[in-house]
Amino acid sequence: MIAYGVLREGGRSRVAARVEGGVLDLAAGLGDVFAAPSINPFMARGPDFWRETHARVRELDGPLLEPEALELRLPFEVADYVDFFSSLHHATNMGRMFRPGSEPLFPNWRQLPVGYHGRAGTVVPSGTPVVRPCGQRRPPGAEEPTFGPSVRLDIELELGFVVGVPSELAAPVPLGRALDHVFGVVLLNDWSARDLQAWEYQPLGPFLGKSFATSVGDWVVPLTELEDRRVPAAPQEPEPLPYLREEPWAYDVPLEVELNGAVVARTTSRHLYWSIAQQVAHLTSGGATLRTGDLLASGTISGPERDTRGSLIELSWNGEEPIELPGGETRSFLEDGDAVVLRGEGLGEVRGRIEPARC
């Protein structure tokens, strides 16, 4: 499976391709567009150039570099960042935890891909330390909020879809052409401070609880490389409005979560309810543009069983059922020094270690 990233050597960065057996330096063989410090110029060239490049990469006979010996950079310059909420099981679990006795899904959830705009400036490459964020939180039973380090730091196992071809202002991208704008997929960890999020999110949604770090993998896998992973999905009920209506589908990519060396969850992206095509169609339906380097995240990917949940808040059921680790330790949320690795078959991994707060 081909993937594209950016390596740095000798004081300069350029585009590389991960192929079977190693990594190819594309700047040496495929032209100036690959001598850039990101894959954005390559992505902006569009689907015909992408397909031509994939074919040429398969034919290249250059020296293969060892991935472990390379200094890898953030593979693309992030333009805008949107995080969706597209897993039915995750959304249902969150609703059951925080609104027991009520319908777990808000009425709009099955009508449109819910999302929020995040901060592009804190999207970081795999391996970047994650500093525990600070902010306001009001613990259960407290009358007033306090300010300090988050005590309910969490992960979110997600896919990120990277836009290659921009769109025009005020020109909605129709569902049938949405994938023409999307270059590929990257593994993503949307770190979350649940206590900050719980206090601040009403009425306008996540803010400091989500703004401090979002980690992405070193490699972006073109959508064309995932064509054999596209599978039918369960019917969407009720049927979406016409601009979102398509035969339900998803990519079936096996995923896992490792915490301090122990795998605590395994799931698959086929559990996503809304497709990336529907997300693009909805995002642009009001006139918003797509830009080269836009990052559209799926939201936490969770399955129906406990060990298929993609966040610690679900795995520990908001702390009521702590996760047991080898050696007798337990976790409900992340502690300083904890190391998290997310993996996706063919996509690689995303690593991060928690460092103490600085407030």
CA dist., res. 199 & res. 205, Å (int): 10
CB-based contact 210:196 (threshold 8 Å): no
pLDDT at 81: 98
pLDDT in tens, 291-326: 999 999 999 999 999 999 999 999 999 999 999 999
Question: 11: pLDDT confidence band, cut at 50, 70 and 90?
Answer: confident
- Which pLDDT does position 29 carry in this prediction? 81
Checking if the pLDDT of 63 tops 90, the result is: no
Question: What pLDDT, on the 0 to 100 scale, is given for residue 292?
Answer: 98
Active-site choice (54, 89, 90, 117): 90
Bridge partners of 256?
266, 343
Alpha-carbon gap, residue 1 to 18, rounded angstroms: 8
Quick check: 140 pLDDT over 90? no
Distance between CA 309 and CA 98 in Å, rounded? 17
125 and 306 Cβ atoms separated by less than 8 Å? no
Quote the pLDDT of residue 129: 98
| Residue 114, token pair as written in the block | 């819910």
Task: Quote the pLDDT of residue 238.
Answer: 97
Give the global pTM. 0.97
Q: What is the pLDDT of residue 68?
A: 84
Q: Is 90 a catalytic residue?
A: yes
Q: Scanning the structure block, which residue is given the tokens 């936490």? A: 300
CB burial readout 93-119, b (16+ within 10 A) else e: bbbbeeeeeeebbeeebbebbbbbebb
Q: State the chain's mean pLDDT as an integer.
A: 96
Tell me the pLDDT tens digit for each residue of 84-120.
Answer: 999 999 999 999 999 999 999 999 999 999 999 999 9
User: Per-residue pLDDT for 10 more than 90?
Assistant: no
With bands split at pLDDT 50, 70 and 90, how would you rate the model's confidence at 153?
Answer: very high
A 10 A CB-CB count for 79 gives 17
Mean pLDDT value across residues 231-257: 98
Distances (CA, A) of 195 to 101, 297, 343, 357: 22, 22, 26, 15
